[in-house]
A and B are shown apart, each in its own frame.
Chain A
């Protein structure tokens, strides 16, 4: 999923303080799972903002809506008929949702309420870790199912770098050395010989380097 983290309330206040009628817009997908932008977080943020503005002696409308998703037209359309009530939206979906909202409601300012962090997993409640950087050309087949692009601090395709200590990355002992994980896994798969195959220069044109990416599937288009 896309993992996000809540922005500090003071930062959100700074973004929206000039507005009078504000919609706090949550998303039922990834950001709900990582407890940053679901219905619950919408409620907490809205309540805090209502009290903040009242305490400032200002009568600001703060409404709450949580959509099924903010990355699909049909869900964002659900709020079309009430959008004229607001002069600003705080979207606490990921950056994708914030942008799609901004595209669809061209003349309403949309502010981000979370920092979108990475593509990752829930290791346990309250701990989410990165697994994928969406580089567009998956090499997991040759690395034992562990991704050095997202999990090595130097994204070494032929690691490790020599700085890892007992399986921890040199930059932070709380981060696993991706290459230690790869080697352990290749060993478990009885494929350690594969370690010596040199991974060729990567084609980064499928990554961010190639500019904004598209997946076009004419076979499923209508």
Chain B
């Protein structure tokens, strides 16, 4: 389909979003990511039954923590779509890219920069 989507998104493949951990999300931000989103299978369609549901809970936990520490929970998002939805994948990438651009860069990146 050769769909276009923003180039500043780094894709990390997981066997299942159930592998995603809160720590992965937090560490991504510690290392400078401006936003993180998880793209899992449609709810009810997980090959491992509930991997995507677990991922959603972990995304929620990460959102909560980022809110509490003042980083902004909206930098994290969970999406569900099926493998046949290429255009939707691209659309999500655009949506997330826009959202993060509006939020601005990861605040600790700026703080680190100032500290250096």
Interface residues of A (CB under 8 A from B): 8-10, 13, 40, 43-44, 47-52, 54-57, 59
Contact = CB atoms under 8 A, between A and B. Distances in A.
B23 A40 contact: yes
B58 to A, nearest CB: 10
A57 B29 contact: no
A9 B108 contact: no
A51 B29 CA distance: 8
Contacts, number: 48
B71 A44 contact: no
A55 B108 contact: yes
Given A8-B68, A9-B65, A9-B69, A51 B26 contact: yes
Interface of B: 21-23, 26-27, 29-30, 65, 68-71, 107-108, 111-112, 114-115
A43 B69 contact: no
B18 to A, nearest CB: 14
A10 B66 CA distance: 11
B114 to A, nearest CB: 7
Nearest to A57: B111
A44 B68 contact: no
Contacts of B26: 43-44, 47-48, 51
A113 to B, nearest CB: 14
